[in-house]
Structure 1
Amino acid sequence: MASNLLAGTASVTVDGATHLVEGGFKYNPSTVTRESLTGMDGVHGFKEKYIAPSISMSLRDTGGLTVNAVNGMKNVTVVAQLANGKTIIGRNMWTVESQEVDSEDAKFDVKFEGPQVTETTT
């Protein structure tokens, strides 16, 4: 019988190293964004702009992890296993933005961008 579990868990590795996901896991496999172009006489069409696919989450700041090392990540592979059975893979990714630790809950946000994020289903 198929599971009805759809959401709520995610496990993540970066270059094979497991990291504790505190929450907020998100991914965007899209490679373009579109914007409608309109004029005073109606809709003219649209424009398309490339965007970098991304994977983001809040990680737990464990004793064996340095935030500076996360900030320096380039050309890494990010793999996530989701509750719904999907596997999310980002290759040749790098971190963007800076990471700031909330030491009350030992967590920080990290966002990876790269040329491609794929999702496979079971």
Structure 2
Amino acid sequence: MADTTNRLAGIAYLTVDGTNYMLAGDFAYSVSKVARETLMGQDRVHGYSEKPKQGSMSGSIRDAGGLSVASFNAMTNVTVTVELANGKTIIGRNMWTVGDLEVKTTEATFEVKWEGFSVEEA
């Protein structure tokens, strides 16, 4: 067995509510809890504002023959889990999908994005 102690990227596994899906391309996630914006005055920087921010997870999914793309649009309270090559597990609970689900037939892929109250690294 190959030593993977230095592996940082590459392999990733995606499950939604325990069902495995083929992850065709990059997966992205945001664990940020707040969004900050600098408040500028005419005289100087005054400080910043801070608002709550949703967690998010997104990726390119392979449209396998038995897959229902419409089922992704129906996701409103799911747990999304991704296991990364570097040993991290990313978990989003109570997630819902946002945006359009458009299948690209050349590669049989579609982009999906989940948002929710938080995304955590384990």
TM-score by length of 1: 0.95
Structure 2 residue aligned with 1:28: 30
For residue 33 of structure 1, report the CA deviation from its aligned partner: 0.7
Structure 1 residue aligned with 2:66: 64
Counterpart AA for 2:75: M
Q: Are residue 53 (structure 1) and residue 74 (structure 2) matched? A: no
Counterpart AA for 1:102: K
Q: Are residue 17 (structure 1) and residue 19 (structure 2) matched? A: yes
| 1:39-64 residue CA offsets vs partner (Å, 9 max, x unmatched) | 11101010012221001000000011
Correspondences of 1:1-122 after superposition (within 5 Å): 3-120=5-122
- Does the residue aligned with 2:91 lie in a helix, a strand or coil? strand
For residue 32 of structure 1, report the CA deviation from its aligned partner: 1.0
> Equivalent pairs: percent with the same residue?
53
Gaps of 5+ in 1: none
Q: C-alpha separation between the residues in 1 aligned to 2:66 and 2:11?
A: 22
Gaps of 5+ in 2: none
Superposed CA RMSD in Å reads 1.1
For residue 90 of structure 1, report the CA deviation from its aligned partner: 0.4
TM-score by length of 2: 0.95
* Aligned residue pair count: 120
Q: C-alpha separation between the residues in 1 aligned to 2:39 and 2:98?
A: 30
Q: C-alpha separation between the residues in 2 aligned to 1:31 and 1:9?
A: 27
Q: C-alpha separation between the residues in 2 aligned to 1:116 and 1:38?
A: 29
Counterpart AA for 2:90: I
| 1:1-24 residue CA offsets vs partner (Å, 9 max, x unmatched) | 771000011100000000000011
